[in-house]
Structure 1
Amino acid sequence: MLQIATTLRAWSAEGRRVAVATLVAVDGSAPRGVGAALAVDDTGRVAGSVSGGCVEADLVAECEQVLAGGPARRRRYGVGDWLEPGLMCGGTVEVLISDVAALDDAAWHQVERAAAGLDATLSLDALGRGCADDPVVTLSVRRPRHLVVVGAVEFGVALGALAARTGFAVTVLDHRATFATKERFPDATAVVVGPPGAWIAERGWAPDDAICVLGHDLGHDTPAILAALRAGAGYVGAMGSRATHERRVEALRELGATTAEIARLRSPIGLDLGGSTPEHTAVAILAEVLAVQHGATGLPLSRTGGPLHR
Structure 2
Amino acid sequence: IALGGGSNIDLAKALCLTLPAGATIRSFIGRIDSATPVLPLVAMPTTAGTGSEATPGAILVDPDNATKIAVMDNRLRPAIALIDPEFTFTCPPRVAADAGIDALTHAIESYVTMDAAAFDFGDDPDPGYSGRTALTMLFARESIRLCAEHLRRSHTATDPVAMREARVGMSHASLYAAMSYGSAGLNAVHGIAYAVAGLTDLSHGTTNAVMLPYVLDALRDVRRDELLTIARLFGIDDADADVAMARLPVVLRDLIGALGVPVTLEACGIREADLDTLTRDALAVTRLAKAFPVPDVAQRYARIVRSAWSGELSFDEGRAHPPLDVQAA
TM-score by structure 2 length? 0.27
Give the number of the structure whose alpha-carbon radius of gyration is greater.
1
Structure number with higher helix proportion: 2
Structure number with higher strand proportion: 1
